[in-house]
């Protein structure tokens, strides 16, 4: 088998484990932490994820590669490639999420809503913590959890993100503008590439 075939097989096994965990345990932090353990195992051998298989786009912009998605759009796994200076404002996911590192550091900042945030409009946040996701660790989020991410590495970073529902199906996500004290619908993720 070549690397892609080996990776696809490992991804399929991991995703089956993740489906089984959700079926057995439901959606809660203990279940998501078990999923994270599966994802860290998947990424233990970085030779399965060679950087040349996950390039930035020709203009140097960030790219999201789909590695797995069920026919009903559930259990979607992505490789998220970030260039230097990648930054995503605070947002929720409206589905559960597990993120683990492959290459580089992705700084996650965690927030909680102190007012608003049930829909677009006035909203205020306070930061509750931060964690740097890198190879060998990861973070988990319940649907209403809010985080922001930032990447300062000079070389492209790669992190694997697995969601309960595919990114291009999540039309009710909120993105927060902490300076303005507001939140708005987050644009649907588009331009997802296959790998
Ligand atoms: Fe996120």
78: domain CATH number? Answer: 2.60.120.10
- In this prediction, residues 79-108 reach a mean pLDDT of 95
Q: Which domain holds residue 97?
A: 3-194
How many domains does one find in the chain?
A: 1
9 Cα to the center of ligand 1, angstroms: 26
- In this prediction, residues 180-193 reach a mean pLDDT of 95
pLDDT at residue 78, as a whole number: 98
The Cα–Cα gap between 151 and 157 comes to 8
pTM reported for the whole predicted model: 0.96
Average predicted confidence (pLDDT) for the chain: 96
The Cα–Cα gap between 26 and 111 comes to 24
- In this prediction, residues 45-65 reach a mean pLDDT of 94
15 Cα to the center of ligand 1, angstroms: 19
The answer to whether the beta carbons of residues 175 and 89 sit under 8 Å apart is yes
Sign of the C-alpha dihedral computed for residues 115, 120, 121 and 124 taken in this order: positive
Q: Identify which of 92, 97, 101 has the alpha carbon closest to the alpha carbon of residue 40.
A: 101
- In this prediction, residues 23-37 reach a mean pLDDT of 98
145 Cα to the center of ligand 1, angstroms: 9
Residue 154 — very low, low, confident or very high, per pLDDT cuts 50/70/90? confident
148 Cα to the center of ligand 1, angstroms: 7
48 Cα to the center of ligand 1, angstroms: 24
Is the pLDDT score of 37 beyond 90?
yes
- In this prediction, residues 59-88 reach a mean pLDDT of 94
Is the pLDDT score of 31 beyond 90?
yes
Residue 124 — very low, low, confident or very high, per pLDDT cuts 50/70/90? very high
* DSSP three-state, residue 110: strand
């Amino acid at each position: 088998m070549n690397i892609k075939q080996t990776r696809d097989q490992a991804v399929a096994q991991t995703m089956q484990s993740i489906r089984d965990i959700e079926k057995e345990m439901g959606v809660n932090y203990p279940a998501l932490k078990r999923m994270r353990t599966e994802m860290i195992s998947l990424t233990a051998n970085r030779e399965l994820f060679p950087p040349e298989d996950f390039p930035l786009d020709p203009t140097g912009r960030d790219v999201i590669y789909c590695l797995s998605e069920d026919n009903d759009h559930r259990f979607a796994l992505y490789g998220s490639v970030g260039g230097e200076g990648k930054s995503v404002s605070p947002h929720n996911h409206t589905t559960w999420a597990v993120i683990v590192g492959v290459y580089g550091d992705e700084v996650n900042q965690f927030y909680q809503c102190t007012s608003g945030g049930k829909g677009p409009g006035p909203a205020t946040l306070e930061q509750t913590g931060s964690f740097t996701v890198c190879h060998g660790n990861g973070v988990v989020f319940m649907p209403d959890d809010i985080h922001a991410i930032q990447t300062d590495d000079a070389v492209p970073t790669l992190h694997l993100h697995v969601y309960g529902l595919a990114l291009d199906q999540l039309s009710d996500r909120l993105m927060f503008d902490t300076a303005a004290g507001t939140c708005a619908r987050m644009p649907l993720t588009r331009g997802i590439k296959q790998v």
